[in-house]
């Protein structure tokens, strides 16, 4: 699973604009985007992190490239596990989760799921 920021400056401006009283701070937004860091969670509990995701997922989703999802989406919203060797894009296509906007922004060749064939050794 990989999460790609559009640009560092763009991401920083979204996070700065979103940081007002009662909203997650920068570390908490980054945790929703990338997952907890080595020092542990910046949230008081998993419940508070889940609540922050529920309230601010639309802001965090704007920080990832089309065909990708932030860490909190995988933690709280993914409807099923990924298959072995399945890319994020293939997963989203297989589960019918690409938005119209994502389909419009992705090259047509990338929107069609890859055929996962295995051969006998």
By C-alpha distance, which of 66, 58, 56, 59 is closest to 6? 66
In the predicted structure, residue 3 carries a pLDDT above the cut 80: no
| Predicted confidence (pLDDT) per residue in 20-32, tens digit | 446 899 999 999 9
In the predicted structure, residue 6 carries a pLDDT above the cut 60: no
In the predicted structure, residue 7 carries a pLDDT above the cut 90: no
| Predicted confidence (pLDDT) per residue in 51-95, tens digit | 999 999 999 999 999 999 999 999 999 999 999 999 999 999 999
- The pLDDT score that the predictor gives to residue 20 is 47
By C-alpha distance, which of 72, 67, 70, 56 is closest to 15? 56
């Amino acid at each position: 699973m990989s999460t790609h920021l559009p640009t560092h400056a763009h991401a920083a401006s979204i996070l700065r604009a979103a940081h007002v009283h009662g909203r997650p701070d920068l570390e908490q937004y980054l945790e929703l985007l990338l997952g907890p860091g080595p020092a542990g969670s910046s949230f008081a509990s998993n419940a508070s992190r889940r609540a922050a995701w529920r309230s601010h997922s639309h802001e965090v989703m704007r920080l990832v490239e089309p065909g990708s999802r932030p860490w909190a989406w995988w933690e709280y919203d993914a409807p099923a596990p990924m298959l072995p060797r399945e890319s994020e894009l293939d997963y989203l296509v297989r589960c019918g989760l690409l938005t119209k906007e994502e389909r419009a922004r992705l090259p047509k060749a990338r929107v069609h799921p890859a055929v996962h064939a295995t051969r006998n050794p």
